[in-house]
A and B are shown apart, each in its own frame.
Chain A
Amino acid sequence: MTAILGQIAQIFLVVALAPLITGWVRLVKSRLNGRIGASPFQPYRDFYRLLQKEAVVAHSASWVFRAAPYVTFAAVWLAACIIPTFTTNMVLAPAADLIALVALLGVARFWTALAGMDVGTSFGGLGASREMMIASLAEPAMLMVSFSLSLITGTTSPAQIIAFVLGGGVGIEVSLGLALAALIMVAIAENGRIPIDNPATHLELTMVHEAMVLEYSGRHLALMEGAGMVRLTLFMALISGIFAPWGMAQPGAGALGVALGLGAFLAKCFILATALGFFETVIAKMRVFRYADFLGGALLLGLLATIFIYVSEAV
């Protein structure tokens, strides 16, 4: 019963929290750039505004274009449901593991890319093409991270991994560090952050994700942007959950434990979002064809992480 409640709370928590995190990142960046910046709650207002506007759809667009925002958002949301944020006691936790998580994000990307191509403009195709190229390296890197985590913890389920780490099963290992590095690189690519992509750009040379959603407006745009925000939250939950699971409520924890978990999660998100804002300010965006080096590096780090396990084991 608590598992069901926990799950429902989780489902709505991620959606509710996501705009705030994005707003906070923006605020941090503005401040670091010397601007005052908008309130961290500005994204909520934007959503409301977008929802009120009519959606403009190109003549040449098919139903895929109109369905894509909903599918994308639902897929990211579903993925977010299975990453423990404040408790590992969730009814849906066994329904999907890290591999499925990667694939669910893949679903979102697939639809977004299709939507980008649907209108038949050159920008849409450009975005889709680049996005798929990035994904074709980021996904394997992510899977290699899952591989090394599964080797260390004996499971691919995020809830179980966290439980394992909390149980003190892991010390500080080289491969864990490598996996963390790879995961962060993947997270940057998946969320379209600098240096891979700039969420604020509309310059054709540099656009990736934005190019795909260029034609969207109104509620469609809201959903697409919302999906991006949820995805960011998801990755923060994942990184913090696996590598810093402290405070997370375990099955059997009382109301206090849950409250503690919630607080810990908010704190971790706050720290990560601040770090992200800082990081994005000090770094420059890459050229498109350097992505391969960056993500190939992530893939190799993931691979190294798996292999380093034997080193640790053998000694």
Chain B
Amino acid sequence: MMGHLANFPGADNPLLWILGVPLGSAGFLVVLKEWRVATWVNVVASAITFASSLMLLDHRPAATRLLFIDDFNVYLVVLTSFIGLTTAVFSAAYIARESEAQRLSDLHLRFYHSMYQAFLFTMLLALTANNTGVMWVAVEAATLTTVLMVSLYRTREAIEAAWKYFILCSVGIGLALFGTTLVYLAAQPVMGDGADAMAWTLMIKRAHAFQPDLLNLAFVFVLVGYGTKVGLAPLHSWLPDAHAEGPTPISAVLSGLLLNVALYALLRFKMLIAANGQALTPGPLLVMMGLSSLFLAAFMLYRRGDIKRLFAYSSIEHMGVITFAFGMGGALANFAGLMHMTMHSLTKSAIFFAVGIISQNEGTKRIADIRGLTASHPVLGWGFVLAVLAIAGLPPMGVFMSEFLVVSSTFARQPLLAIPLALGLLLAFGALVSRLQMMAFGEPPKVVASHGTATTFSSILALTPLWVHMLLVLVAGLYLPKELVAWFQVVARLLG
């Protein structure tokens, strides 16, 4: 209990900064009145967090009972803080234009920035926690912060979305807690009472001695619980509305970060099962949920009229693919899954950046009202085209590489599973491309909704994160750094 305090990192430990800066700035931003300053504080805090996360690449602090860094979470921490930073930059531009349009009051903005940092904190905590309980708390807290942000606009739709989100995720998170408890129960006879039986680093070493039957049961609850958060069909229902009704930067971090973190939690538990060896393999369950998500989302994409919901469903689709990959298991598919997680985060958040600007420019979220973006706003429009093509899985962007690996390796092993996978991907591809063509090409509407007051600075600011992300995705599609590959391969082995 109090002994946990001894586990807190010291000042030379990057983890202190990674977790401390967001938490501290969340507190500070609550009291900061001037929103213009707050946007920049937000950016600076995120930048510091990102910079400290980069230090992890250099040396990793030793694991404590509370926090740890290993091959799996190191890249996710860097990715999370990176997207946190880019989204903060985008958010600065976005908020500036929103408040010009007078859609948000000062109080709301204060609240928004504070919650943004709090959300980052919970994400990073969930990733670095070496304790199943702490991780659970962090994910729950993430739900709470995002619920508040989703309902930020106080519109009828926003509140309904937040309500749905809250109820479904609370139930889900409750089930996840039960799963966590079950895992503790499985570990406790082997590890003894107390925090040892909840520490990832310790559990994984002795997982082979755990009660397999209990682990089976635990995994079902964890899967349904965290799976809700991942947005796997048929647990996905909160996701599209929550993405659609909140401010766009929040949609970006929901898709780019929250889903990843929930999946990360799920995968940690899968590692335990893999290390145990006697438990039922969770593969079929994951494959099933992956495919159902893929197909549901693919068909849903054809009937979407709202641009943000469209891409929210696309997130469901990709989470389905990733889950499928991990369900298949094996070195190639696991590698592909990890790669896909990364690429999806970067690409999807980039798409939401673009979507944010688009809906601000055009003054609508209706796909039918958006036309000819490449003609009316070339830089934005082509960036958007690039991003959507990337998410649709066209080379040379990164998503293609992971889809290539998943489909081809699955086909060599289980042709009957690969066929629906390929079909689902093709279906989703068709929907995305047809919408993309509608929005990006064609005759642009004659009268562009008047948001012309936006300064050039803020529009450049808004576009930079989009292009930075796309550049990364483009590079990653052709070249991955050796270290990252090594980490992926280690994790892929652990995932079984």
**Is there direct touching of A and B in the complex, by C-beta distance under 8 Å?**
no
Residues of A within 8 A of B (CB): none
